[in-house]
Amino acid sequence: VEIGANLSETLREELISFLKENVNAFAWTAEDMPGIDINIACHELNVDPTFKPVKQKRRRLGHERLKAVNDEVERLLKVGSIAEAKYPEWLANPVVVKKKNGKWRVCIDFTDLNKACPKDSFPLPHI
């Protein structure tokens, strides 16, 4: 956990103490929150119907990257964060990048899908 560098030492110590006292109240990994009810946390994309679905051509991954993707998919399936789609209209490739600690970060290239979603305007308030 990273604690803000701009906090005073007193506030920093209070925050660390609070987190330690309430460690069980936080989910630190996906495994800590299996089976989140989709009625509580569910998201639907507002895709513009005039856009034709894009199925990206499958990119080949090296053995290490492929293993990282398979491990991540299995982990997310196990905790119920994702579900298998048999015949999806949109296909997006994984992007696998090595982190500083040597582990792999698995992301998805949703570039085409993002282009098909209207831009929401949520201006930040003046603070």
Q: What is the pLDDT of residues 28-66, one digit of tens each?
A: 776 777 666 666 767 788 899 999 999 999 999 999 999
Do 95 and 52 sit in the same domain of this protein?
A: yes
Whether 124 is in a domain gets the answer: no
Q: Are residues 60 and 97 in the same domain?
A: yes
Domain count, the chain: 2
pTM: 0.65
CA distance to 2, 15, 24, 113, per residue, from 104 (Å): 20, 30, 27, 24
For the record, the structure tokens of 112 come out as: 């085409």
Could you tell me the residue range of the domain that residue 25 belongs to? 1-32
Residue entry with tokens 């990994």: 29
* pLDDT score recorded for residue 37: 67
Q: Answer yes or no: do 100 and 60 share one domain.
A: yes
Give yes or no: residues 22 and 82 share one domain.
no
